[in-house]
């Protein structure tokens, strides 16, 4: 429930930060740009919220499913996503001007976190699919994780394939990716709460 509430809060804070000056473009500019400017603290708080809700998801997930060894890889990778999200709050990205050390750290951490998020969810989806109690949850989760992987691949490959065209939609593609990663947690959380046979539903 905390992960679900955190996801809703994330969407609300992101929308609020987007609506305030300096009004960065959600289509062509990265979400991280929202943390730079007079109201940048809102996005910094949201980075921490994203990490916290992801850690809460892992806590709830680990208590809802059997402690099978095959889940460990997914736990670790999603944990990388969560911790990376929190670190982003301390190192603002570069928005124009000369490159900075904190901007370089932000970029590296973001890449590592993104990879951790998508591959962690792919791993957890695969593990759920092999669990007879959670096979149905794993089926839906796998499709969302695959879509997240495709959007991340587009985010990484787009600048090299069609740099000019991609520059106009890079922010949108990144937001789709982040949205899918969070949607995965939201939907899995809801299904674990409502699905008979899980420890969460039983409680």
pLDDT tens profile 74-124? 999 999 999 999 999 999 999 988 999 999 999 999 999 999 999 999 999
Residues 100, 186: Cα–Cα separation, whole Å: 35
Burial (0-12, 13-18, 19+ Cβ within 10 Å), 19: exposed
Q: What is the pLDDT of residue 11?
A: 97
> What is d(CA 43, CA 34) in angstroms, rounded to the nearest whole number?
6
Looking at residue 155, its pLDDT comes to 97
3-state helix, strand, coil in the chain (%, to 5): 80, 0, 20
Place of tokens 């937001």: 175
Q: How much is the pLDDT for 134?
A: 87
Contact 88, 34 (CB under 8 A): no
- How far is it, in rounded angstroms, from Cα 46 to Cα 148? 20
Q: Which residues of the chain have pLDDT under 70?
A: 196-203
Which domains are seen in the chain, by residue range?
Answer: 2-202 (1.20.1070)
């Amino acid at each position: 429930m905390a992960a679900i509430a955190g996801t809703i809060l994330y969407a609300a804070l992101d929308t609020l930060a987007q609506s305030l000056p300096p009004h960065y473009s959600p289509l062509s500019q990265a979400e991280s740009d929202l943390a730079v400017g007079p109201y940048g603290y809102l996005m910094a708080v949201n980075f921490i919220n994203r990490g916290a809700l992801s850690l809460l998801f892992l806590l709830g997930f680990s208590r809802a499913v059997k402690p099978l060894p095959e889940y460990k890889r997914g736990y670790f990778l999603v944990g990388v996503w969560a911790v990376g999200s929190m670190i982003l709050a301390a190192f603002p990205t570069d928005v124009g001007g000369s490159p900075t050390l904190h901007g370089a750290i932000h970029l590296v951490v973001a890449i590592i976190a993104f990879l951790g998020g998508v591959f962690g969810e792919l791993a957890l989806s695969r593990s759920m699919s092999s669990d007879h109690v959670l096979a149905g949850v794993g089926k839906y989760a796998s499709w969302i994780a695959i879509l997240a992987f495709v959007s991340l691949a587009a985010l990484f490959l787009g600048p090299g394939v069609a740099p000019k065209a991609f520059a106009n939609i890079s922010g949108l593609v990144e937001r789709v990716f982040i949205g899918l990663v969070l949607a995965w947690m939201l939907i899995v959380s809801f299904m674990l709460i409502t699905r008979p046979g899980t420890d969460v539903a039983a409680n």
